[in-house]
A = this chain, B = another copy of it.
Amino acid sequence: MTDWLDDIKWTEDGLVPAIAQDSVTGRVLMFAWMNRESLAMTVEKGEAVYYSRSRQKLWHKGEESGHTQKIKSIRLDCDGDVILMSIEQTGGIACHTGRESCFYKEFVNGQWQAVDDVIKDPKDIYE
């Protein structure tokens, strides 16, 4: 029943990179890692569940902030080693800095510049 998980080329650490893209705007919102269990839970719940490498545990995105990511579709790349999810971002905020996307720094004039506004103060997100 879980053959589809065997189609994935996991890293030596048993992980696969996962990209979350907004299903409406097409904006790339974040990038994180998944292990077998988190990907299986993502499919089961219909919400993104990552694996936190720093905390070494499952990370149901939005469990603290409420900013869950509802799965619209899941894709796998040609090499079978990267996951792309089309998601609906609850609250319109994917980044822990309170911004829509984690990719808010743009390379301008030889520097990384924060070009997107903070939608909500993180202090008000993680109370």
Contacts and interface: CB of A to CB of B under 8 A. Distances in A.
Count of identical protomers in the assembly: 2
Interface residues of A, number: 37
Interface string A48-85: 00000000000000000000000001111111101010
B7 A76 contact: no
A103 interface: yes
A74 to B, nearest CB: 4
Interface in A63-119: 73-80, 82, 84, 95-97, 99, 102-107, 110-112
A8 B51 CA distance: 22
A79 B103 CA distance: 9
Interface of A: 1, 3-4, 7, 17, 19, 21, 25-28, 30-31, 43, 73-80, 82, 84, 95-97, 99, 102-107, 110-112
